[in-house]
């Protein structure tokens, strides 16, 4: 498959990358009735709603085009699309809500239990009033990301699945067999070792570090790893099990024992899109970064995440969401917008712009993406079992869980502390204590 294949962009859920990209932007665009081609002034009597996003410049045309198409169909509603720098975006939203000036609708990726905070609108009655069958409209993972205690508090912006992307040209050049469906983690490691060559400056994989077991990939599910319970309250008894510790050791060894994955600094030296350098065998491919692959000068392809010998294959899926503020003075208009941008027609606009893969199965079928050489692989992933990503199960992940989990890598690699079992047990205990205190106080 050639690097000229189409579509989406960016690893939205890695905070560091987001902050760097988002800090370049701070744009606001008002999409008035007729804005797609009418130079006339906005109707002073039109209802105005604000729609915020924290995204990079490449994705702004998707928001603008969706808003323009919506206002063409709803000339009595004006939509102000505002791009706000990702750095501190969540804090800005909370501060504006506290000041009673929050946006009507915004884009984000809260943990599912964040709904208990009370400022994201319960849209279940709206869905029921419009007779929208959510289970038929959206992919299961998109619904799971929107649901808390049986109620929906958001609508999905996208439906995204992660796979292992690989440089087919590099595999062939180095005489390494191409990955195939059903391959195992032993096959994966063997390929990583064979592709790593110090003299050539090549690396087996970019898939390493704590994120390997948290986002963009199904290594966690396929290896039996868990970090926190589905209700977001329990870490001990999951992170510190023998199975989870074994998975952590396997990921650590990619860098420490086998030397097949570059460090952060080494990866940065390969450029802003390290896989595009042609010096890396494998990386995290998803519907958020396919636009990067469009530019690479070599043959590439994708394959499911490897499994344990005889184990079950899971998909890793996720969905960024649209939220409505409970304090919005224009809930009816805001709901009309959310229905449109999360629906078949609106999500197709974003897909055709090349922003992200849509949350609606019907849009995929309309576009023929279930048969597309590239995108059909994500379609196949959507048919596999998956779970809510384990870093999106508790609103206190970044405060309580992630620092302790990432600290295992720091202690093991940089501080050379051993044994791993003790490090994981201590991390689980600290994370659990923090979670208990945080939930008790909130």
Question: What is the pLDDT tens value at each position of the chain, 442 positions in all?
Answer: 433 332 232 333 332 332 333 333 334 455 544 444 444 455 557 899 999 999 989 899 999 999 999 999 999 999 999 999 878 899 999 999 999 999 999 999 999 999 999 999 999 999 999 999 999 999 999 999 999 999 999 999 999 999 999 999 999 999 999 999 999 999 999 999 999 999 999 999 999 999 999 999 999 999 999 999 999 999 999 999 999 999 999 999 999 999 999 988 999 999 999 999 999 999 999 988 887 888 899 999 999 999 999 999 999 999 999 999 999 999 999 999 999 999 999 999 999 998 999 999 999 999 999 999 999 999 999 999 899 999 999 999 999 999 999 999 999 999 999 999 999 999 999 999 999 999 999 9
Residue 55 lies inside a defined structural domain of this protein: yes
Indicate if 135 and 172 belong to the same structural domain.
no
| Position 433 in a domain | no
Q: Is residue 114 part of a domain?
A: yes
Kindly state whether residue 411 falls inside one of the protein's structural domains.
Answer: no
pLDDT at site 42: 53
Q: Are residues 189 and 148 in the same domain?
A: no
The sign of the CA dihedral 337, 342, 345, 347 is positive
Question: Residue 25: what pLDDT?
Answer: 32
Within a domain: 405: no
Q: What is the CATH number of the domain that holds 279?
A: 3.40.190.10
Pick from 334, 354, 381: which residue ends a domain? 381
Domain span at residue 169 reads 161-317
Torsion angle, alpha carbons of 244, 248, 249, 250, to 10: 100
Q: What pLDDT is attached to residue 131?
A: 98
Nearest Cα residue to 155 out of 317, 321, 324: 321
Task: State whether 113 and 150 are in the same domain.
Answer: yes
**Residues 155 and 182 placed together within one structural domain of the fold:** no
Residues 142 and 228 in one domain: no
Q: Do 137 and 175 belong together in one domain?
A: no
The residue out of 381, 399, 418 marking a domain boundary is 381
**Same domain for 168 and 260?**
yes
Q: CB-based contacts of 257: which residues, under 8 Å, 6+ apart? A: none
In a domain, 227, yes or no: yes
Q: Is residue 79 part of a domain?
A: yes
* Residues 95 and 144 placed together within one structural domain of the fold: yes
How many beta carbons lie within 10 A of that of residue 382, not counting itself?
20
Per-residue confidence (pLDDT) for residue 4, from 0 to 100: 34
Q: Is residue 431 part of a domain?
A: no
| 242 plus 324 within the same structural domain | no
- Residues 291, 364, single domain; the answer is no
Residue that finishes a domain, picked among 330, 346, 381:
381
Domain count, the chain: 2
Q: Provide the pLDDT for residue 277.
A: 97
Q: Are 359 and 319 in contact (CB under 8 A)?
A: yes
Shared-domain flag, residues 240 and 330: no
Does 182 lie in the same domain as 200? yes
How high is the pLDDT of residue 19?
31
């Amino acid at each position: 498959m050639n690097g000229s294949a189409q579509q989406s962009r960016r690893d939205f859920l890695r905070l560091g990358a987001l902050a760097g990209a988002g800090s370049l932007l701070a744009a606001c665009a008002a999409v008035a009735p007729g804005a797609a081609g009418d130079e006339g002034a906005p109707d002073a009597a039109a209802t105005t709603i604000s729609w915020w996003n924290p995204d990079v410049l490449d994705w702004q045309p998707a928001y603008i085009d969706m808003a323009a198409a919506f206002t063409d169909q709803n000339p009595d509603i004006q939509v102000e699309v505002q791009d706000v720098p990702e750095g501190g975006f969540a804090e800005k939203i909370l501060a504006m809500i506290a000041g009673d000036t929050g946006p009507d609708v915004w884009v984000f990726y809260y943990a599912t239990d964040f709904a208990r905070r009370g400022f994201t609108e319960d849209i279940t009655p709206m869905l029921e009033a419009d007779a929208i069958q959510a289970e038929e409209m959206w992919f299961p993972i998109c619904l799971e990301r929107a649901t808390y205690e049986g109620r929906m508090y958001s609508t999905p912006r996208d439906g995204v699945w992660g796979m292992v992307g690989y440089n087919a040209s590099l595999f062939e050049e180095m005489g390494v067999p191409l990955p195939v469906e059903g391959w195992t983690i032993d096959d994966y490691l063997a390929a990583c070792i064979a592709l790593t060559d110090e003299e050539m400056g090549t690396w087996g994989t970019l898939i390493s570090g704590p994120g390997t077991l948290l986002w963009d990939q199904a290594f966690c599910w396929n290896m039996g790893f868990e970090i926190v319970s589905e209700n977001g309250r329990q870490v001990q008894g999951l992170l510190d099990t023998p199975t989870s510790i074994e998975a952590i050791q396997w990921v650590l060894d990619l860098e420490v024992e086998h030397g097949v994955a570059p460090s952060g600094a080494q990866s940065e030296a390969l450029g802003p899109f390290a896989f595009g350098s042609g010096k890396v065998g494998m990386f995290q491919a998803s519907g958020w970064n396919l636009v990067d692959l469009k530019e690479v000068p070599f043959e590439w392809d994708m394959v499911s995440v490897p499994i344990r010998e005889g184990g079950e294959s899971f998909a890793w899926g996720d969905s960024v969401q649209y939220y409505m503020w409970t304090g919005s003075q224009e809930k009816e208009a805001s709901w009309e917008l959310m229905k449109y941008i999360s629906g078949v027609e609106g999500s197709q606009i974003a897909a055709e712009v090349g922003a992200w893969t849509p949350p609606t199965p019907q849009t995929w079928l309309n576009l023929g993406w279930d048969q597309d050489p590239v995108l059909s692989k994500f379609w196949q992933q959507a048919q596999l079992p998956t779970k809510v990503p384990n870093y999106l199960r508790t609103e206190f992940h970044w405060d309580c869980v992630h620092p302790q989990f990432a600290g295992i890598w720091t202690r093991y690699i940089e501080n050379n502390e051993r044994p791993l079992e003790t490090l994981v047990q201590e991390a689980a205990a600290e994370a659990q204590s923090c979670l208990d205190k945080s939930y008790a106080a909130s």
